[in-house]
Amino acid sequence: MSEVTNPLLIGKGLPPFADIKPEHVIPAITQLLEETGNQLNELEANLQPTWSGLVEPLERLTERIGWAWGAIEHLLSVKNSADLREAHKIVQPKVIEFFNRFSQSQPVYKAYKAIYGSSEWDSLEPAQKRIVEAAIRDAELSGVGLEGADKEKFNAIQMELAELSTNFSNHVLDATKAFSMTLTLPEEIAGLPPSLLALAAQAARLDGDDKATPENGPWCITLDYPSYVPFMQHSRRRDLREKLYRAFVSRAASGEFDNSPLIDRILELRQQKANLLGYSTYAELSLARKMAPNVEAVEKLLEELRQSSYNAAVSEFAELKEFAKSQGETIELKHWDTSYWAERQRELKFNFTVEELRPYFPLPQVLEGLFALVKRLFGVKVIAAEGQAPIWHESVRFFEIQNEHNQAIAYFYLDPYSRPAEKRGGAWMNDCIGRARVIEEGKPITRLPVAYLICNQSPPVDGKPSLMTFGEVETLFHEFGHGLQHMLTKVDYAGASGINNVEWDAVELPSQFMENWCYDRATLFGMAKHYETGETLPESYYQKLVDSKNYMSGSGMLRQLHFSLVDIELHHRYQVGGAETPLQLRSRLAENTMVLPPLPEDNFLCSFGHIFAGGYAAGYYSYKWAEVLSADAFAAFEEAGLENEQAIAATGRRYRDTVLALGGSQHPMEVFKTFRGREPITAPLLRHSGLAKV
């Protein structure tokens, strides 16, 4: 009977989120680990080195624990609570221990190797071969070849790294939450747009001041992006901008949430792990499962892009200083002034504000435009399917994707709004269920994929819909691009369907590709309609948006290259306890990658969750690597002619059948070449960024 009472034991279908409570976590995971461990022992004793005797039973074996753990991790990121955090913390080491044991199974590894050399090999499909090859490589990278003390040390490292990464992430969340700046006087809010005042009053109400209003305050400003960014762009109070900026760049860098010691320990353990596996640095280990062939290739690309963007960034800053001076600014520009003056210059140059566009981008309208685009490009329909799926918050929506024959082929959840108290910042796509051929009740069926799409835009406030900045529109398109690769896959093997088994530095291709369409005339005018009057965005704005797209693009590109180069350097050349601290290393690289050197207390590494708590360690360059691919892919549509509906549909179909359909069943370079007819080049990215050398 225990099956029914604990929702985490269901093991298939959509998780019943509302029923899952923190107290279910420990008993369910404990039970599942025990059952799965026993099944693994049994399987190891009777292994057949064939697809049906090894790969299929292994997938079934990890399915239920993967399902339960996926639901828990998802809730941890969208409905975080002290109890859930505590339960997760208790079972996480046991889960890692199990997956370590699983990935280090000698019998399983030897059976995979046997398939590789067997008579069956030639009859396997490309997707199956890639799954077997990836399993062999992943086993080797998981320490399957280690024995005795080395193996124990490796497993202890894995365990400690997982715990450090969770702690790092929680520290950033807690440090972000711990700081707030309450404003009570009219002069303190000079320059702030109404959307921010509404958000700040709402934050004050959540903080216990139930009388707070957008008009009269008090207003609570936080380090959460939807609050921090607009404040830095619009506040006329230089002293308050400075206070907020200093708090932001020193987040999680001192006191009880200090991540500095964690960084050193993480880097030290990663280096040890790489050495145990026979790599000289962690960067080399990281690249072993990526599209980029080696560190040199990564640094060569980053340097090529740096040379195209550094001088542009220097002259952009010089121009900004001149502009500020012309507006009567007498003090030399500091770090907390650049966003503010860049925003003023943008408004003057392009004669519009980011804020005045918001009313033209209510979420429902933007979704309509996005869905019209995917129909135009890929021939699929998206329809609302509310009420057909369990949700974790009342603002979450559910949708179905249908093919040209009106058959359901996939589903997705959309959780669009910021909830700083329980939901981590940023935006992401995750898989809830992956596409696969499975046996249910004795019959083979195709299990349809389900995606989670998570954003953090301003929630509807005071009866208005969620009015999005153009940047938030781009973010939604970006995450939907990830979702499309997960949902439009044609691969029937779980190990390579959707985003599974896609090299990390190719995974941003479909997402960054979608962002280009926000500047496509048909797409933009299809969705940009005023939420009150229904009036379409005036034509003059379209030109301004296109012109402003590359505003300060040298600085934007340089910022990403700074992160990428610091990340590679930390994981390839940094020596723990050597001559340099991570902070000094960053300052050294800043000389060629930042126009304004960082402040002494700027310790952005302490909140750099991407590389210390996410999957981007020695992989942050992936954004730029994939952007080269995505710009080149979009160029195929430009070459076909964006006004030519037939050509766009034909190119869209080819893109759907390659990039979106093939998932991890082929190497990304092969997938790209099949779509584009050649290897990628950097020219389209530099052209799209306005950085091409004319």
Residues with catalytic function: 479
DSSP state string for 63-107: HHHHHHHHHHHHHHHHS--HHHHHHHHHHHHHHHHHHHHHHT-HH
Given a contact cutoff of 8 angstroms between Cβ atoms, the answer to whether 154 and 146 are in contact is: yes
* Cα dist from 343 to 229, 328, 349, 351, 540, whole Å: 11, 16, 10, 11, 19
The token pair that represents 295 in the structure block: 């560190």
Query: Contact 672/679 with Cβ under 8 angstroms?
Result: yes
CB proximity list for 655: less than 8 A, separation 6 or greater: 377, 378, 633, 636, 675
Q: Is 456 helix (H, G, I), strand (E, B) or coil?
A: strand
Which two tokens mark 193?
Answer: 């747009």
Beta bridge pairs of residue 451: 412, 431
CA distances from 428 to 18, 67, 413, 452, 673 (A): 21, 19, 12, 8, 27
Query: Which residues have C-beta within 8 Å of that of residue 581, sequence separation ≥ 6?
Result: none
- How far is it, in rounded angstroms, from Cα 560 to Cα 302? 10
Distance CA 281, CA 268 (A): 11
Question: For residue 511, what are the contacts with CB-CB under 8 A and spacing of at least 6?
Answer: 429, 478, 479, 480, 481, 482, 630
Residues 513, 518, 519: CA angle, nearest 5 degrees: 105
Quote the tokens at residue 3. Answer: 């099956």
Backbone angles phi, psi at 453, to 5 degrees: -115, 120
Query: What is the DSSP pairing of strand 219-222 with strand 436-440?
Result: unpaired
CA atoms within 13 A on the CB side of 677: 4
Residues in the chain: 694
Q: Provide CB contacts within 8 A for 595, sequence distance 6+.
A: 313, 314, 316, 317, 555, 558
Note the Cα 634 to chain centre separation in Å: 21
- Can you state the angle between helices 82-103 and 56-78, rounded to 10 degrees? 160
Residue 621 has φ and ψ, to the nearest 5°, of -60, -20
Asked if the bond preceding 261 is cis, omega within 30° of 0, the reply is no
CA distances from 420 to 9, 176, 416 (A): 30, 9, 13
How far apart (Å, rounded) are the C-alpha atoms in residues 115 and 219? 64
DSSP classification of residue 494: G
DSSP E strand stretches across 125-234: 180-183, 219-222
Rounded to whole angstroms, the Cα distance separating 293 from 107 reads: 30
Residue 102 amino acid letter: F
Strand partners, 428: 454
- Largest Cα separation within the chain, whole Å, is 80
Cβ atoms within 10 A of the Cβ of 322, count? Answer: 11
